[in-house]
Chain A
Amino acid sequence: MIPAIIVIVIVLVIVGVLVGMYNGLIRRRNQIENAWAQIDVQLKRRLDLIPNLVETVKGYAEHERGTLEAVVQARNAAIAAPDTPQAQAQADNVLTGALRQVFALSEAYPDLKANQNFLSLQEELTATEGRVAYARQFYNDSVLDYNNKIQEVPTVFIAKAMNFEEREYFEADEAARVAPTVEF
């Protein structure tokens, strides 16, 4: 009787530990999905802010059509971009560049620079750019945590048995890796 109880207890403990490890892996994998979705949310939020910005700037800087059109084009390209990290990052970089031009415009138009709406949009867009970067950072942190777990003993055995696959990091593409040049 007593040996049987001991065996049952040992089996239960082993099952419990295995379930705990498996759940830990699942939790980490879901966190990666969530982090990935968060990047999209922030990119979309940024795109939604742009029409507002264009409308506001239009009223003050009628002659800067070219700059504004570049932003609108970059935005459309970003919306149309295929749903791969690489393509999106590229479109996103073009958009960032075009936005910089618009913010640089405000230097030449004091009225625009003083406009509360414009300032608020500028703050919002700067913050959203930061959020995109943070979302990517969190995604990479999550991937690192997950990849570590599925390669470490003892979770590696469960990961192998249950086909947990290694995830890829988000990397800034070649264009973004080169520091932007400043022209005077």
Chain B
Amino acid sequence: MFELIRANKRRSILLVVGFMAIVVIVGTIIGLIFGNGPVFAIVALVFGAVVAFASYWNADKIALSVSRAKPADPAQYQRLHNLVEGLCIAGGIPKPGIYVVDDLAPNAFATGRNPNHAAIAVTTGLLEKMNRVELEGVLAHELSHIRNYDILVSTLAVTMVGSIALMSDMAVRTMWWNGGRISRGGDRSNGNNPLAYVGFLLLIMAPIVAKAMQATISRSRETLADVSACQMTRYPPGLISALEKLKADTTVTHSASTATAHLWIEQPMSGVGDAGKLGGVHRLFDTHPPLDERIALLREL
């Protein structure tokens, strides 16, 4: 477990470094296109540093607020509070903040930067559809994310992936408008800057790379959290039947967005075209392993 935590902290640093690198590269490319490389690179570096820093301190609050999570009232959600408290004793971690998302689809996620600053959010649909044992399994899965420091990596990814996507999106659009004007001025002179083409390609690639990064970050740890959850409850059937209920339920979690997709216990978007010709490509960007695989793995415990 301690090795796992160390690996996650290392990965968080890598994520921040990788993020900064992408930001600076993209910034430099935009600079080269507009003919002012170094200035844009520095601006990008500052921008990246600010986002990275803000992510570390506020990403959990951002993740909670974009999901419209509200603090769970201890009297109204007595069972939820009690289950989390019990599991925290089993896992030897402090009790995290508990939030409820008003959404019919059963789902849950954990966020924060360390066990002392963590939060768990569950949808009202989950509370409605799961019985005590199943709910406990799901909560144990989320608490495992907290205990293993998965939350740090994945929460950082929320804001970073989001800002990379936003930035390159903005850059592509600016180029579109400006590009038209420049080419009117002199079609041939565009050839002077071959880097622009490379840059354009990179700009398109950046969000894709960011997405792939997000996917690899999250997939293996979902399975791992499933296993640690059973280590916590010592009762795999609880989580198994919870996952089966999630599989049977096809409601889309409306409170989730692409940026927060990897946080949730079940992939919130419906897997479009998973079975089609491009199924394999789509699966590359899936934030979660298929539920069937996760269930099969738990059965072996």
Complex Cα spacing A42 to B89, Å: 10
Report the interface size for chain B: residues with CB under 8 A from the other chain. 12
| Contact (Cβ within 8 A) B82 A135 | no
| Contact (Cβ within 8 A) B83 A127 | yes
Residue A120 at the chain B interface, CB threshold 8 Å: yes
| Residues of chain A lying within 8 A (CB to CB) of residue B78 | 120, 123-124
Task: Name the residue of chain B whose CB is nearest to the CB of A41.
Answer: B89
Residue A134 at the chain B interface, CB threshold 8 Å: yes
Task: Name the residue of chain A whose CB is nearest to the CB of B91.
Answer: A138
Least Cβ–Cβ distance between B12 and chain A, in angstroms: 23
Residue B102 at the chain A interface, CB threshold 8 Å: no
| Contact (Cβ within 8 A) B234 A137 | yes
Given A124-B78, A137-B234, is A38 in contact with B89 using a C-beta cutoff of 8 Å?
yes
Complex Cα spacing A130 to B89, Å: 10
| Residues of chain B lying within 8 A (CB to CB) of residue A134 | 86-87, 89-90
| Contact (Cβ within 8 A) A138 B90 | yes
Contact code string A109-152 (vs B, CB < 8 Å = 1, else 0): 00000000000100110010011001101100110000000000
In this complex, which of B86, B87, B89 has the most chain A Cβ atoms within 10 angstroms of its Cβ?
Answer: B89
| Residues of chain A lying within 8 A (CB to CB) of residue B86 | 127, 130-131, 134
The interface residues of chain B, by DSSP majority, are classed as: helix
Task: Name the residue of chain A whose CB is nearest to the CB of B132.
Answer: A126
Residue B79 at the chain A interface, CB threshold 8 Å: yes
Task: Name the residue of chain A whose CB is nearest to the CB of B234.
Answer: A137
| Contact (Cβ within 8 A) B79 A127 | yes
Complex Cα spacing A127 to B135, Å: 13
Residue B194 at the chain A interface, CB threshold 8 Å: no
Cβ contact of B79, chosen from A42, A123, A138, A141, cutoff 8 A: A123
| Residues of chain B lying within 8 A (CB to CB) of residue A135 | 89-90
Least Cβ–Cβ distance between A134 and chain B, in angstroms: 4
Least Cβ–Cβ distance between A122 and chain B, in angstroms: 11
| Residues of chain B lying within 8 A (CB to CB) of residue A120 | 78
Residue B92 at the chain A interface, CB threshold 8 Å: yes
Complex Cα spacing A141 to B83, Å: 19
- A residues contacting B by CB (< 8 A) are 31, 35, 38, 42, 120, 123-124, 127, 130-131, 134-135, 137-138, 141-142
- 15 residue pairs A–B, Cβ–Cβ below 8 Å: A120-B78, A123-B79, A123-B82, A124-B78, A130-B82, A131-B85, A131-B86, A134-B89, A135-B89, A135-B90, A137-B234, A138-B89, A138-B91, A138-B92, A141-B92
